[in-house]
Chain A
Amino acid sequence: MTNEIVKQRLSEKFGEQLAGFDESFGMLAVTAPAEMNMQILQFLHDDEQLKFRFLTDLTAVHYPDRKGEELCIVYHLHNLVDNIRLRLKVYIPIERPDVASATPLFSGANWMERESYDFYGVNFIGHPNLTRILNVDEMDYFPMRKEYAMEDPTRVDKDDEMFGRGGTVA
């Protein structure tokens, strides 16, 4: 089993709907439409050849500059039999951050999805208990989104001018 075979099987099944194939650092990555996430996960899980039955990780990333697809949900799957990993990504708009929950397929997705909800506000449809997990329940924002700077934005760690950069030419 190789990345090439996985790519081929996926392309055969879903054709043009999959994009963004990438193989950097040896791991195959693929981007799919958000509404198809469960369909693809199910196929990866059930297919006799692919056997991606282990959900290693599930998390989210915020890209404020990608208009209409600001939030990215990243699934890391593992085929333990052939020992091959796969990264599946789906992008969703921040105005309507809805994506189907993977809990019917993987019990382990439960807390990972709660974490992504807690940090990024991703609304996993069909999740049995989509509540905050690490932060307090009273919080009314999603802290890992890039819209929240870490510290006082006016704080200056170092003055670039003193280091020969960013200064003006006299």
Chain B
Amino acid sequence: MSELQKHQQQHITLAEESLQKQTTTLNLGPTHPATHGVFQNILEIDGEKVLDAVPTIGYIHRAFEKIAERRPYYQITPLTDRLNYCSAPINNMGWHMTLEKLIGIKTPKRVDYMRVLVMELARIADHLVCNSVIAVDTGALTAFTYVFQWRELIYEIYEEICGSRLTTNMGRVGGFERNFSEVAWQKINKFLDGFPKVMEEFEALLNRNRIFMERCIGAGPISAERALNYGFTGPNLRAAGVDYDVRVAQPYCSYEDFDFKIPVGTTGDVYDRFMVRNGEIWESFSIVKQAMAKIAQLEKDDPAQKNLFYAPESDHYHFPAKEDVYTKMEALIYHFKMVMGEINVPAGEIYHAVEGANGELGYYLISDGGRSPYRLHFRRPCFIYYQAYPEMIKNGLLSDAVIALSSLNVIAGELDA
């Protein structure tokens, strides 16, 4: 026995039950690098094995739903940005589509394709973050640095379209605030030219990487049956083998015009979730390409389409162009009325869902015909996934718990809302 051990035996007194208990309570979070956000997991571990977990959330709860009950409709758009901030445009457009459905606005094809284009770019950006971070959590940083330049380019495209990068506040009821600039189109083309090579490199680094596979296969699994019972959607459900995708099941925004496949896994473990997201990146890339071709075709058939970036019938709900606000009285009055929340939305009750990067993102809106919703509820996919987390990591290793969390892509902003 070493001197240190002797010292410990003589001077350290343990709590009475500690020797019988033989397990450790470990706080993973609320602010731990492995949680990628502010939420806590109280783990009961036996050595490296996770026996039980209790998740605690609510650290960044911002009362979105309550705030929305007082705000005019346009002021709710920035709130939706802060749900899943990795793919903010999808949240925005989901919200605007809900309103359009309630008001009864039918958007033109060009607007639909522009929206699809932006939403699919957002999906690619979101999946790039998620998948490269799974690699970081297994100890591989290289892939992360490769793909982040391309997420950066996607953010530059957003910047060209709307002037901001992360929380974009993109889109308006009926379409977009303004037409895409020439530079925006050029940047999208640059993305289409350069991205496949990098994505191939990313996949070559990880997909058949022995260490990565050993870490991911079998970690944090969930069966299709349990996933459905929990209400899983999106890549996490598809990794378990269920090919449910809102874009196909209940097409919105002209998704029915596009040709794409739904990648599906079998075991619902970390590796399957990773592979499903990789597959989706390729599909989204193909959708962006198709959207570019379709827009070009529309403009070729009818050159007047080039200036169509919102539904003409939505004029009543659409912010006037800035140059008109500065030069025309009518536009100035209209702009003022909209900002002050003078534009009411018809009464009605509606649930509209879009396929967010993370799964089914639904808006349940009850309007009483006033300036703000009577009740607005966000169906946020992260909230659903995270409650299944203890079940998924039980009897696994502590290191599996870390990658299981990043593979679920739990975004704190969306989780807490």
Contacts and interface: CB of A to CB of B under 8 A. Distances in A.
Nearest to A143: B66
Interface stretch (A8-16, A24-32, A34-42, A91-99): A24-32
Contact of A57 (B230, B342, B362, B416): B362
A57 B133 CA distance: 29
B69 A56 contact: no
Contact of A150 (B67, B244, B249, B387): B67
A162 B58 CA distance: 42
Contact of B350 (A24, A57, A62, A151): A24
Interface stretch (B188-196, B277-285, B377-385): B377-385
B366 interface: yes
Interface residues of A, number: 39
B63 interface: yes
Contacts of A66: none
B65 interface: yes
B364 A74 contact: yes
B356 to A, nearest CB: 13
Interface in B356-373: 360, 362, 364, 366
Q: Which of B242, B350, B364 has the most CB of A within 10 A?
A: B364
B226 interface: yes
16 contacts: A29-B349, A55-B231, A76-B351, A76-B362, A76-B379, A83-B249, A107-B229, A107-B230, A108-B384, A108-B387, A119-B65, A136-B58, A143-B66, A144-B65, A150-B66, A150-B69
Interface of B: 57-58, 61, 63, 65-67, 69-70, 101-102, 226, 228-231, 242, 244, 249-250, 340, 342, 348-353, 360, 362, 364, 366, 374-375, 377, 379, 383-384, 386-388, 416-417
Interface of A: 22, 24-25, 27, 29, 53-57, 59, 61-62, 74, 76, 80, 83, 85, 87, 106-108, 110-112, 115, 119, 132-136, 143-144, 150-151, 157-158, 163
Given A76-B364, A108-B387, A134-B417, 11 more contacts: A22-B349, A25-B348, A56-B362, A76-B351, A80-B242, A80-B244, A83-B249, A108-B231, A111-B384, A132-B58, A150-B67
